[in-house]
Every structure is written in C-alpha cells, then in structure tokens.
A and B are shown apart, each in its own frame.
Chain A
Amino acid sequence: MFSGERKSYSFKSVGFTEENIKDNRSTFTVNDPIGIVSPVQFGNNADGLFAMHRNLLEQIKDNLKVLLRTNHGERPPLYDFGANLMPLAFDIGTDSGDIQAMQRISKALSKYLPVVQASDYEPIVLYEDNGELAKVGVRMTYDIPILSIKGQKVDCIIYAAG
C-alpha cells in the first residue's frame, strides 16, 4: 500500500509546546476553590473570605513553597514539618550543603507532599555588587507523576541579607 520513502520519528525528540502546557493547565482548572492562597489574602466574591486557588498545579506549587520555606519547629503541632533549609543557609552552594538540602527536601516531600517528585536541584547564591552575600535559595525542578506533569520549577529564597 505504501510507496516511496518511509518516514521514521524518534520519540526522543517528542516534547510539549507552550500551547500544549497551557492547555494542560486549563485541564486542571476546576470551578470549585481548592485551597487557600499563600500568603493569605482577602478573596473576591467568588472565593469568599480568602483568595483561593482554583488550579491544581498552582495549589501544589503553593504547597511546595510552603514546605520548602518552613523549618522544623515552626508548626506547633507538626514539629518536623518543612524542609528545614534555614540551618543550611550558609552551606548551600557547597557540595555537602547541597547534598544535605536535597536529602531534607526529599524527606519532607515523601512525608508531607508525596504527589511531588523532585527531579533537579540548583542552589541559588546571589552576591551584592560589593561581594557580600545577598540571597540564598534553591531552585527545584519537579514532576507530578499522577497528573503526568513534568519539568515544573519553583524558586525558594531561604535567606536574604544586604
């Protein structure tokens, strides 16, 4: 039935275009509010008292930020809640500090946000013009396997000085 040259494609080069991702996002948008936006702010008429997330991805990203920014002991009833990155503020960027940070993030994710799977980790260490330390943080790339979402990024500043 076929004639002429046969075409062949590698799955290796298959990806998502921006349009695809936007479409995907709209797929996870629901009508009912999912959770409260962090930081807490007043909502509009549709939300009620607090501004609410209506997008599952945004909600998960928000939760992930909360998890990364919380240190142990900051949540009274859950004393081990959070990635506890603050004690590593001045070690991030070093090999041992980064390993420690990744271990802590993995542990926190597995216990409190198992839907998120961390894939890449990148330390953020920014200096002022005068060479003094300005910001320390982490940039994390993560997947959400149950939603078939990959390559999401989140930045979390742990310590800022200046």
Chain B
Amino acid sequence: MAKERIQKQIRKERQNNYLSRDFDQFRSQLLDYARAYFPDKIKDFGEASVGGMFLDMNAFVGDNLSYYLDHQFRELNPRLAVETSNIESHLRNAGVKIVGASPAVVTVTVFFEVYAIGDAYGNPTPDPAFLPRLSQGTTLRSSNGTVFTLSEDVDFTETDVNGNLKCFAGIDAGGRIGQAGRNGNFGTVIVNRDVLCVSGEQKSEAFAIANNSVPFRSITLASPNVSQIISVTDSDGNVYYEVESLTQSDVFRSTRNTNEDRDVVESSLEMIPAPYRFTSTTSLSTRKTSLTFGSGDAETLDDDIVPDPSEVALPLYGKTTFSRFSIDPNRLLETQSLGISPRNTTLTIIYQHGGGRDHNVAAGSIRFVKTLLRDFPKSYTFDPAKHPGRSTTSFTSLSNQVINSIDVTNNEPAVGGDSAPTVSDLRSRISSYRFTQERIVTKQDLLARVYTLPSNFGRVYRAAVSPNPENPLSSLIHVISRDARGRLTTSTDTLKRNLRIYLNEYRLISDAYDVLDAEVINFQVRYRILVDPSYNKSGVIAQANTAVAKSLRLQNFQINQPIVRDDITNILINTQGVISLTNVEFVPIPINTQSTVLSTTFEGREYSALDYNFKANFINGVYLPPNGGIFELRYPSFDIKGAAV
C-alpha cells in the first residue's frame, strides 16, 4: 500500500519535458519515463524487443509531429516557406503580382506606298482616302519567328496641331516619293507611322456561363504567361473591367487625347464605375491566369450597381453650419456588392500571352506582316478625278494595292523581354511590397513601383532614385534595361513614357519625377601577378580571371554602386598559386573617332561611349560612378587582362 501511495505521489509531481525535437530525444525521454515510473512492469526496451518497438514507434510519431510542427511554422514565414501554394499565398497577401515571361516592347515603323494628289503648292501629298487605319491586334513577325502585336490603333490620317499629316512630312521636309507622277497624276508617296508593338500573340477564348448564380465565379485561361487581358465582354454587351481587388468599384479609363496638347499628352484619364469587374491571378506553378468575378447577382441587383456620386451630398436640416468631417473618397462610388458575377451568358476574353529573353529581337529584324487588321476612313471619299491616268479607277482595286505595299521595320532592338521570374525572385519582392501602398511616399515605394511596371510595357533592369539638385520637390529616376544578350542598354523612350504614365497614377500631387537614362561605364581590369614557379602561369591567370569576372558580373551591380578596388585585390591575392600582386588597375574603354554619342567600338566590340576618368574618381580606394552611372564589365573574356611575372 505504501508503495502505491508513493507512486501516486510521484505521478502527481511528474516533470514533463516538452523540449524533445527529434527521434533520439523522444526515445531517450520515453525510456527514462518508463524506467522511472514502470520499472516493475517492463524492463526490456532493446531495439529487438516488442517493448523497444513500441518505444520506437512512439518516438517516431513524436519526431514526425515535431517535424510537421516546425514545417508549419516555417511555412508561415515567406522567406522560409517551401510549398508552392503557401509561397503563392504569401505573395498574394503581400500584393506581389505573379507574372509569367515578360514580352518585349519595340517601336515599329509601318510604311505604305499611297496614291498621291496635289497639295496647295502642287506638290504630291497622300490622298487621305487611301490612308489606312491599322487596328490593335495586327500582328507582325520577326526573322526568328517572334510575333509582335500592335498595342494600339494607328491612324494614318491623324494630323498634328498644325493640320499636317503625321505620316507624311511633306516633300519639302524630306517626304519620300514612291513613283513619280505621270499621265497627269501625282504618282505615289511613302507614308509611315511609328507604332508601339508588344511581343506575344493575342488569343480569344469563349466561356459559356450557366444560368445559376455563383459568387466569386472563377475561370482559368488556357495559355500560360498571359501578359495582358485586353478585354472581357459578355454576350449581352457588358464590359468587365480588371481591378486590383473586388472592393474597387471604379476604374481609370485611358482615352485618346483630342485637345491641342495631343502631341504632348497622348491619352487622358477618366474615372468610370465598374459594376462588372474581375481580378486576375496567376498560378505560381502553372503560370496560368485565372479571372475571379464578383459576388453580386445581376438579376437581383437594382440601380445600386451604378451609383451616382452626386447622391452623396449631405443635406443640412435645421442648421446653417456644419463641422469638418472625415471621408474616404473611394467610398463615393462604392456599391453594396463586390461586383457582378456573370450568369446565363457567354464571356469572350481576349488576352495576350507569351514572352521571354529571345523576344528581344535585333533592330531591323521585324520585317513581316502576319495578320493585318485595317480599314479606310469613311470620312474621306475617293474622287477618281484626282487620279487621272491610273490603270484603274476602282477604289477597291487601288486600296488593295496600297495595302499590299505595306512594309515594316524596327529601327531599335526590342527590349524588356525576360523569362518568368523565379520563385526566389518573387519571394524577394515580398519585403519591399509590405512597406508600400497605393501611393508613392518613400524612395522604396518609388523603386517598388518602377520595378513592378506591368510587364507588357517593358521591364526596367536597374533603377535608382536620387534627389534633384535643381528642384527640391523633384527626384531623379535613373533607369537602364538589358538587351537580348543580357547586356545593359538604354531603355527605350516608349518604356520611359510608359513608366512616366504608370508612376503618375501613384505619385503625390506635389511630387515630380524626372526619368533619365542611367549611364553605363564599361571598363577593363588589368593586373600583374607573381606566380609560384610550381604552378602553371596560364592556369593561375585563368583561375584569377574567372574569380574576378564572377565578382564583377552585372548581377552584382546597381546604379550608383561603386567598385572597391581592394575587393579585386583580395580576390587576386587569394587565388591559388599567386605569390604577390604587382599591380591592378581599372581602365576606361578608349573613345575613338568612330564613336557615336551612345556607343563606341573597341577591338571590334561595342561599348558605351561614356568618357569616365577612373583616376579622377578613385577616392579612398573606391571607384565612384557619376550620379546615375552603373559599372558593367561587358566582355569578361576580353576585358580582364592578366599578366604573370
């Protein structure tokens, strides 16, 4: 009796330990426990015994639970999470947009040979009746097979503020003549317009929606790497707008600017209610895009669908004063629902998909027209009397000849195409997203916005923000892109224009940004080393070159980032076989007479033409770039020159 009483007392005062984490710890603790509390019940816990097996199984279960407990905690941390679905969830919570491969952006010049008429001075000018209008969706093809799609309509009849055709400069201003006039007509002239093209193909998908109300209905598009959803319409003619979250009940719409400043500002924005709306999300694993619609039922909602902002005016009853009050301007157009879920209709979704580094095609490689969506303006009527001596006076026949004369080319290489960001890339963006918001306040907000420019407008490779010395309210944004070979290249004007428009939507009203090109500083590294006689000199130099190239690779550099010379010294001295370092220096690429403003050629290789004085900018052991400058060791195989003594 006494023994049992003591045992009961001991059991009450058991020291339970919850610190065991793995199999061995659990087994050891269980064994101690069994030996302490049940020595008279069982003694053999060797691995070969049944008791040992039970002990092992319990420790195994504990080990497993401990592992999964750890795993669950790790999955709560975006930096440590490994399961794709959880990373995806973290990305969405942080607001990081998952994108597929990015398309390249390029400005393509479209040419037509158009029948001419005489202008006021008797010079040939294009007959506006034959000036076509190309529609968004027209596709072009480069020599490597990459398809480029017109991202906007282009109207050859468009004129500038002075009434001059944008597509034809006039004979006096260098306008080109196709065929000289004969038989009393004015022959033909060459007209051209620059148009923004984005790589990738447009696709249209139709989805039949059943006649039942499904809140937050979701549909998935068939193609991966969707860069842009161009339009979503239903068979009733309703247009669905993409919003960031379904609580946003209004959207900005871009419309063509028809005012006198249209040459400066191409588009203007307006705010419109969006009762029919959707959000799009891209799966991290499949890179396929899903559209999620609202929760409202179109058949039961009343005029709350489209609220009237003027109704929010507050009446004053029985008094003549009112105090200040707080209001969220976003609530003015708020509806009771989260948008309408489509039912009993057919949704037609047109989207653009495709992208990658190989879409950064070289200049002059876009030469083929794949599909041409065009028409002729009905506002200009064809007058056969203005075209005497033509082989035919049929408008159809002549207009077909004009269309068949189409030619396209790109004077600049396409830039911005990039492969889909990896999970690590996306994960690294989470921290920067957490501190940003829907407006740009800090430098970090601004950089996050620059890097997250929607991929169909091109991609900035590096960006840096610095204060504008001439305007305290303005900041300088230096940007740089990469070409198809992964080398730094000046961002195109189109990309910068897109960036300006994009940033403008998020900037504070008193802020100003100047978007500038970052200056690329190409250089060579030259060094002399004393090599241990027992080592092969060539092998040591090759090894040293590889180490230096790895240290100076482009991925390691940001705009305004200096080079610390001792880093390279350290690498060279620590190379196996090197006894001492005689000399190491950074030298600029010589600028020769064949140089242009942007580029120079040295030993048959193309470099940036920036004249940078390394000696003058070597301060305290550090090479300082100019503001907005970025170092690039462009050709590591040629630009690292080592010599062994």
A binding-site residues for B, Cβ under 8 Å? 32-38, 40, 48, 50, 52-53, 59, 62-64, 66-67, 75-78, 81, 112-113
Contact = CB atoms under 8 A, between A and B. Distances in A.
15 contacts: A32-B39, A32-B41, A32-B43, A34-B43, A35-B49, A36-B49, A38-B49, A38-B50, A59-B49, A63-B44, A66-B50, A66-B53, A76-B56, A77-B56, A112-B47
A62 B57 contact: no
Given A36-B50, A63-B46, A66-B50, A48 B41 contact: yes
Interface in B12-51: 23, 39-51
A34 B45 CA distance: 9
Contacts of B60: 76-77
B63 interface: yes
A38 B44 CA distance: 13
Which size bracket describes the interface of B in this complex?
20 to 34
B495 interface: no
B60 to A, nearest CB: 4
B59 interface: yes
A112 B48 contact: yes
B51 A35 contact: yes
Interface in B404-421: none
Given A33-B41, A36-B42, A48-B41, A63 B57 contact: no
Contacts, number: 65
A76 B57 contact: yes
A78 B50 contact: no
Interface in B156-176: none
A35 B59 CA distance: 18
Contacts of B53: 66, 75
Contacts of B40: 32-33
Nearest to B26: A77
B48 A113 contact: yes
A48 B60 CA distance: 25
B51 A36 contact: yes
A33 B57 contact: no
Contacts of B50: 35-38, 40, 50, 62, 66
Contacts of A113: 46, 48
B52 to A, nearest CB: 8
Across the A-B interface, give the 10 residue pairs with the lowest CB-CB distance, nearest first: A35-B44, A63-B48, A36-B50, A77-B60, A67-B48, A35-B49, A112-B47, A77-B56, A113-B48, A38-B50
Nearest to B60: A77
Contact of B42 (A33, A38, A66): A33
Contact of B44 (A34, A77, A78): A34
A54 B49 CA distance: 14
B513 to A, nearest CB: 62
A52 B51 CA distance: 10
B217 to A, nearest CB: 45
A81 B60 CA distance: 14
Nearest to A47: B41
Nearest to B55: A77
B40 to A, nearest CB: 5
A38 to B, nearest CB: 5
Contacts of A40: 50
A62 B41 contact: no
Nearest to B39: A32
A35 B47 contact: no
A63 B49 contact: yes
Nearest to A76: B60
A96 B46 CA distance: 31
A52 B38 CA distance: 14
Nearest to A64: B48
Nearest to A114: B46
A62 B53 CA distance: 13
A42 B447 CA distance: 72
Contact of A52 (B42, B47, B56): B42
Contact of A81 (B47, B51, B57): B47
A50 B54 CA distance: 12
Given A32-B39, A63-B46, A63-B49, 10 more contacts: A33-B42, A34-B42, A35-B50, A36-B49, A36-B50, A59-B44, A62-B49, A67-B48, A81-B47, A113-B46
A48 to B, nearest CB: 6
Given A32-B43, A76-B60, A77-B57, A66 B51 contact: no
A81 B50 CA distance: 13
Contacts of B46: 63, 112-113
